[in-house]
Amino acid sequence: MKHIFIEQPRWLGDSIMTSPALESLSQHFPNAKWTVFGSYASTAILKQHPNTEKIIIDDSRNFFFRSLRLQKLTRGLKPFDLAISFRKTFTASLLLRFISANKKFCYKRQKYFNNVHLVEHYQNFVNLILEKKYVPGDLKIYIEKGYYSKKTLGLNPGATYGQAKRWYPERFAQVAYSLCKDFDIIIFGGENEISMAQEIEKHLEINGVKNYKNYAGKTTVKQLCSAIGGLDLFITADSGPMHIAAAYQVPTVAVFGPTNHIETSPWRNKNSTLVRKNVSCSPCMRRQCPKRHHICMDNIKAADILEKISSSGLGNNLFN
């Protein structure tokens, strides 16, 4: 097996959750060269992987005739021994039709394999391809973590998938204010979350907090991984950065509302804990709250985060 084509999931977090399955693939075919296809964020995670030979950014969503763009993006690619897609969409199936490969596999969940972590779904998919029973390991990112001269707290209020997953900027600020004497603070976020980060910044300024930096919209994926990897404590929504933190075993408090914590919690991060409220309508898995009350997130207060840091032991050895 010399050449493998891999289509990654669209979202950053999902892409990171394929990493244990991809490590199994690498272990099974150690000398294979990968052509990785996907969004900018999802492919950036694999750019430094030792098996990666070529990256193709999928920009086909920007084109009216998406199928023609997919065909153009894959035109001229050499034949592959194996082509796999971690997506279960029509376009994923169409993409594989444009690829010349001896064997092709498109991801689909096994009906008998329910209520387990997404990492296990992806691992099961690869195991079926390889006809092996590999056990998923830790999340893996081949980017060196950063280092800070002082203890540093990261705040990540955003979640690209939708507003329903986002906790409130003023409550992130309340937590940061309570911890600012013990930590320097970094606010994270993508380009679509700059306004949320600025709102946190505004609340910190009002309360006289000066030892913070706002990185929202200013980092590449590589820089984001490095910055999060070096943190001493991370408070985040269910998001791609949460999974980055899990890959580096960063002490993490993850705020969950409308999503299924069984499927997307920080995989094998022994230094993580969840804050969530049991409400009848959660998990709804919606981008926007269908009931318009958002109680799964509104019921979570800053005090809940601080209490969880204390009771879970995450704060051990972190505070002066």
- pLDDT tens-digit series, residues 136-170: 999 999 999 999 999 999 999 987 766 777 899 99
Instruction: Tally Cβ neighbours within 10 Å of residue 185.
Output: 24
Q: Cβ(215)–Cβ(188) under 8 Å?
A: yes
- pLDDT digit string, tens, across residues 94-138: 999 999 999 999 998 776 677 899 999 999 999 999 999 999 999
**117, 228: one domain:** no
Range of the domain at 157: 152-312
pLDDT of residue 164: 76
* β-pairing verdict for 152-156 and 184-187: parallel
Instruction: Give the percent of the chain with pLDDT over 90.
Output: 85
The count of domains in the chain is 2
Question: Residue 37: beta bridge partners?
Answer: 7, 56
> Are 165 and 126 found together in one domain?
no
3-class SS at 119? helix
Q: Are 187 and 214 in contact (CB under 8 A)?
A: yes
Sheet with 152-156, side-by-side order of all strands = 212-214, 184-187, 152-156, 233-237, 252-255, 272-275
- Would 210 be classed as within a structural domain? yes
The span from the CA of 117 to the CA of 293, in Å, is 28
pLDDT at 112: 61
Residue 110 lies in a domain: yes
Parts of the chain with a pLDDT under 50: none
Shared domain check, 122 and 12: yes
The pTM (predicted TM-score) of the whole model is: 0.96
Q: Note whether 86 and 213 are same-domain residues.
A: no
Say whether both 164 and 26 belong to one domain: no
Per-residue pLDDT, 158: 81
